Amino acid sequence: MNCCQCQGIESVFDQKYAAKELESYRQKGPDKTTRILIEALTAGVAGASLLDIGGGIGVIQNELLKAGAGQAVAVDASSGYLAAAKEEAERQGHAGRITYHHGDFVTLAPDVPPADVVTLDRVICCYHDVASLVDLSATRARRYYGLVYPRDTWWIRLALPLLNVGFWLRRNPFRTFVHPTRTVEAIVHRHALKRRFYRKSFIWQIVVYERVETKVPL
């Protein structure tokens, strides 16, 4: 991968990091914000296809397949995450229903088909080019588009640059980002997606958009 940020993702979210997340998932289930996103999508996934961008160890993939989704595509820049996701899918009996792509979604997008449901759980904050990421992912959502990303409050805008100092000192190219909510929503709305669910925590906002049906005038 030529993307410096993706190279940073590969090194930060390595096999050791993925193994810890996998152990936590097996013991406790999805963490709070991921669980909220899954619950907000569950009613509409019967028979649906899923595109999970930055899907990590595959929590959303496995939970929505258990809830009735038909098949899933997972895209992630971390080979450690994808290895853990494949292991967990095999354990849960979903291996034959998930297709995996390793790399930068923005680069891979031309080869990634649309899906009924598209999710990006804590992915926007890990990518520098928010316009391309949101534009290319939103256009692939046929029905629902689910996001978990940081609120752009003053304390988060202060905290994340401090985290980046640590990455800089370790000479790791990975950076975290607080992209303005208005920027994300403006791009999403251009794709005829309307917000149908919203919840927030101290750090995160969980949002589900639904595609607006356009009626042809008589």
Using the predicted structure, report yes or no on whether residue 1 has a pLDDT greater than 70. no
Q: Which residues sit opposite 53 in a β-bridge?
A: 75
Q: How far is CA 217 from the centre of its chain?
A: 36
What is the length of the chain?
A: 218
* pLDDT score recorded for residue 181: 97
Q: Residue 137: its pLDDT value, please?
A: 98
CA distance 129 to 127: 6
pLDDT above 90 for 3: no
Q: Is residue 45 classed as helix, strand or coil in its secondary structure?
A: coil
Q: Are strands 115-121 and 141-150 parallel, antiparallel or unpaired?
A: parallel
Domains and CATH numbers, the chain: 4-211 (3.40.50.150)
Question: pLDDT category, 6, cuts 50, 70, 90?
Answer: confident
How many Cβ atoms from other residues are within 10 Å of residue 46's Cβ?
10
49-84 tens-digit pLDDT: 999 999 999 999 999 999 999 999 999 999 999 999
**pLDDT-derived band at 214, boundaries 50, 70, 90:** low
What are the start-end ranges of the E strands in 128-184?
Answer: 141-150
Contact 122, 53 (CB under 8 A): no
Q: What are residue 209's phi and psi, to 5 degrees?
A: -110, 150
pLDDT confidence band for 161 (50 / 70 / 90): confident
What's the pLDDT score for residue 218?
Answer: 42
Cα 23–126–67 angle (5° rounding)? 50
How far is 212 from 191, CA to CA, in rounded Å?
Answer: 9
Across the chain, mean pLDDT equals 94
Predicted confidence (pLDDT) at residue 217 exceeds the cutoff of 50: no
